[in-house]
A = this chain, B = another copy of it.
Amino acid sequence: MSISIKDIARLAGVTVGTVSRALNDYSDISEKTKKAILKIVAETGYTPNVSARTLSSKRQTNIALLLSGIAEEKNRDSNVLSLLVGAYKFMNDSDRLIATYPINSRLQQRKTIEQLCAEYSLSGVIIFGLKNTDLYYKNIQSSQIPCVVVDFEIQGARQGSVITNDEQAFADITEYVINQNHRRLILVYGRDASEVTHRRYTGFCAALKKNNLDPATVPVIYTDFQEQVAYDETCSLLREKGRDAGTVFVCMSDYCAFGVLRAIHDCGFSVPEDFSVTGFDGTEFSRFISPQLTTIDQNFVKKGFVAAQLLCTILEKETVPQRIRTVDYTFRKGESVRYLAI
């Protein structure tokens, strides 16, 4: 059994109430006893037990980062790692720990978000990777649980969102390839159950129309955001049409772009000589490959940081004015897009 508040009280010759006051920085305690108590705390290496504290206090706030689909999906992409890092960095600064839990579909089926939070005494959560097929997708919207969702908008009073302006970003990169004189685009589509997919599609269409191109004529490769599917489908297309397939693959994620790149290579073509390729996300890996991928960096580390920050603000303040936070993206020019001479 490890050392408890009682031991400290005994050693300091005071009662547990006084020790608690010293520990929680209450004002109604003499500097002298406080010093003495903290000295003993330091010497013994005593740390208050979080469970006990949670149980007895209303002020204690435990927060968690819930990851949907992480142990289930085929391509759990590395963006989640950057997000973790960002959230951890923010919590670091306030010397607090944030627990990370996976929430697979069975868990979501077995207990509601309210139950999960009650069970683990969570006063708020950050949710990442939620698809509209997740049970928690509706669950959080009809609940009062303070939460911050990454990548889709939520409207509850004590809820917030951290998003990227996907429409604009995807329009930007689409316009970029158009400005490089590409006219025969191939869209490499993400996953219908992910909201970002639809926003990016909107941006894609907007950029085309703005340049007098018709979205309806653009061939689409459906990938479910999986590298392998992107690879397979691209191979089929290339084997069937070769260079006639188009001039540039505009992909909804870096992972998809990797599949496309691999397919182009395996079919005997080159990037960017034969085909150009763009990605979306800004995964670390997109800079490692040759040619480096032209992509949109979502700044996932920052997204994680902002998410943690926003959640903490929501938990602290009564009302938070701006609960939809848009994190700026960065266009990253690589060498995967060729300029087409007219």
Do the beta carbons of A51 and B54 come within 8 Å of each other?
yes
A326 interface residue per 8 A CB criterion: no
A70 interface residue per 8 A CB criterion: yes
Known: A100-B101, A285-B285; 15 extra A-B contacts, CB below 8 A, are A45-B115, A50-B120, A51-B55, A71-B85, A71-B88, A78-B78, A95-B106, A95-B110, A97-B120, A98-B101, A99-B100, A99-B101, A227-B288, A262-B288, A265-B290
Contact of A51 among B111, B121, B227 (CB under 8 A): B121
- Determine the chain B residues whose CB is within 8 A of the CB of A80 once the complex forms: 81
Q: What residue of chain B has the Cβ atom nearest to residue A121's Cβ? A: B51
Interface centre among A51, A78, A114, by most B CB within 10 Å? A51
Q: In the complex, how many angstroms separate the beta carbon of A53 from the nearest chain B beta carbon?
A: 9
A96-135: CB near B (< 8 Å → 1, else 0) gives: 0111111010110011101110111100000000000000
Contact surface of A with B, Cβ cutoff 8 Å: 2-3, 45, 47-52, 54-55, 64, 70-71, 75-76, 78, 80-81, 84-85, 88-89, 92, 95, 97-102, 104, 106-107, 110-112, 114-116, 118-121, 227, 255, 258-259, 261-262, 265-266, 284-285, 288-290
Indicate whether A114 sits within 8 Å of B258 (C-beta atoms), given known contacts A51-B54, A121-B49: no
Contact of A2 among B110, B114, B265 (CB under 8 A): B114
A130 vs B289: C-alpha distance when bound (angstroms): 28
- Determine the chain B residues whose CB is within 8 A of the CB of A120 once the complex forms: 50-51, 97
Do the beta carbons of B92 and A97 come within 8 Å of each other?
no
- Determine the chain B residues whose CB is within 8 A of the CB of A51 once the complex forms: 50-52, 54-55, 120-121
